[in-house]
Amino acid sequence: MANDPGVETRKIAIQCLSRIEETSSFANIIVPKMIEKSSLELRDRNLVTEIVYGATRMRRSLDWVIDRYLVSQPPAKLRSALRVGAYQIIHTRIPDHAAVNATVSAVAKKNKGVVNAILRRIAEESDIKWPDDGTKLSYPNWIIDTLTKDLGSDEATRMMEKMNESPTVSIREDGYYQDLASQWVTDLVQIHENDLLLDLCSAPGGKASSLSRKARRVIACDVNLSRHKLIQENIQNLSISNISQVVSDGRDSPFKSKVFDHVLVDAPCSGLGVLHRRPDSRWRIREKDLDNLARLQVELLHSASHLVKEGGTLTYSVCTVTSQETIKVAKILESQFTNLRPQKMTHEKWRNFGNGLQILPHDFSTDGMTVFQWKC
């Protein structure tokens, strides 16, 4: 059984979950590294990713199911194994007996008995009676409360259910992997061939690379030097020659005022619109972080507004849907800069949202995004 790819797949999934928990690392970093070291075929590599991402997303609900059959808290690695098994039983089409047998075979001898017993009990349940929506949906209560307050109960539930699914993979014509919602953001920036555009928070450079096809030159800025390597890799891979990189804090720009035809502020945010893509983020972001992020977003927009030429445009986009980081930020900026005129944008895929546009994950199986645009 040691060389059985099904068993090896579960072993690697358990190791990934354990490493994520022990080191507070991110799934998108740990999983590729662990898979690369293995000899698994593509199908089994994909299954590792599905199990680890899924078990991370559904951590709260899985733990509730598991804990009903435990008399004490298990060691971290044992809990990871139980999550791996329970996720397969509850959330995949893998036959229960196959999920149980492969998971039991993947754990240490001393844990086989308890893993076998608990997973078989879970497999015997035909209908789980969840104690509340938070446990069933597997989100922190504050995220559920925030989305419900901002979107309404029905839309919030549909959004959270959608973000419990694996994300759709989208590829641009030039071969770059980019979610459709992000592609549609760049569609909203009306650029002419002689225009100069500043992407103030550019890394990893997806939007900058798309906009470079229409602009004379794009300046890609980011405060993080290491993330500039991602921008550089994308520039090289896509054979782009009209992007220049600048390491700078967008709140303290080195550029002269009123020099850009367009400024894009794709700002750091809570990422509550991409929780399907970043499975561990829902357990790491805190409600108090939204205040700090909103302040940062206002500061970035304040700086950006000084850089746009008269007649130019300022575009603000975030991969979240909270009112605190979207419509409230826009209203603060508009109150401070009366020369900024909200631009009426139209796109068949987007919802009208105040003076801007918004798309929710369940609308078209994309990331959740919000966009505002102003003419200077």
d(CA 363, CA 341): 28
Host H or E run for residue 122: helix 112-124
141 is a domain residue: no
27 is a domain residue: yes
Question: Which 3 state secondary structure label does DSSP give 241?
Answer: coil
152 is a domain residue: no
110 is a domain residue: yes
Task: Give the chain's end-to-end CA distance (angstroms, integer).
Answer: 67
140 is a domain residue: no
162 is a domain residue: no
Q: Estimate the crossing angle of helix 42-57 against helix 59-67, to 10 degrees.
A: 80
Q: Are residues 325 and 188 in the same domain?
A: yes
Q: Are residues 225 and 103 in the same domain?
A: no
52 is a domain residue: yes
d(CA 44, CA 47): 5
d(CA 51, CA 87): 7
Cβ contact 200:189 at 8 Å: no
Question: Which 3 state secondary structure label does DSSP give 141?
Answer: helix
How open is the CA angle 6-7-11, to the nearest 5 degrees? 120
Q: DSSP secondary-structure letter at 111?
A: G
Q: Express each pLDDT in 109-127 by its tens digit.
A: 999 999 999 999 999 998 8
Residues with Cβ within 8 Å of residue 135, at least 6 apart in sequence: 60, 61, 64
Q: Are residues 99 and 199 in the same domain?
A: no
106: its two tokens: 């993947």
Cβ contact 105:138 at 8 Å: no
- Lowest mean pLDDT across 21-30, 84-93, 134-143, 236-245: 21-30
If phi > 0 it is left, if psi is from -120 to 50 it is alpha, else beta; for residue 258 that is left
How many CB atoms are closer than 10 A to CB 170? 16
Instruction: Provide the domain count of the chain.
Output: 2
Q: Please report the pLDDT score of residue 4 as a whole number.
A: 86
Task: Quote the mean pLDDT of the chain.
Answer: 95
Q: Is the pLDDT of residue 1 over 50?
A: no
> Residue 15's domain is classified under what CATH number?
1.10.940.10
Q: Express each pLDDT in 226-281 by its tens digit.
A: 999 999 999 999 999 999 999 999 999 899 999 999 999 999 999 999 999 999 99
Total residue count of the chain as it appears in this document = 376
Cβ contact 333:302 at 8 Å: yes
Q: Express each pLDDT in 155-192 by its tens digit.
A: 999 999 999 999 999 999 999 999 999 999 999 998 99
Question: Which 3 state secondary structure label does DSSP give 374?
Answer: strand
pTM of structure = 0.93
d(CA 183, CA 117): 48
Q: To the nearest whole percent, how much of the chain has pLDDT over 90? A: 95
Burial class (CB in 10 A: 0-12, 13-18, 19+), 225: exposed
Q: Are residues 192 and 119 in the same domain?
A: no
Pairing of strands 369-375, 356-359: antiparallel
139 is a domain residue: no
Q: Give the domain extent around 58.
A: 5-131
Cβ contact 362:156 at 8 Å: no
Q: Are residues 104 and 199 in the same domain?
A: no
Q: DSSP secondary-structure letter at 219?
A: E
What is the signed CA dihedral for 37, 39, 43, 48, rounded to 10 degrees?
-40
| 352 φ, ψ (degrees, to nearest 5) | -70, 140
CA 168 to chain centre: 12
Of 44, 52, 50, 113, the closest CA to residue 78 belongs to: 113
Among 111, 131, 151, give the residue marking a domain's end: 131
Residues with Cβ within 8 Å of residue 279, at least 6 apart in sequence: 27, 52, 53, 54, 56, 57
d(CA 90, CA 44): 19
d(CA 97, CA 116): 10
Among 97, 131, 165, give the residue marking a domain's end: 131
Q: Please report the pLDDT score of residue 3 as a whole number.
A: 67
Q: Express each pLDDT in 288-337 by its tens digit.
A: 999 999 999 999 999 999 999 999 999 999 999 999 999 999 999 999 99
Q: Express each pLDDT in 50-79 by its tens digit.
A: 999 999 999 999 999 999 999 999 999 999
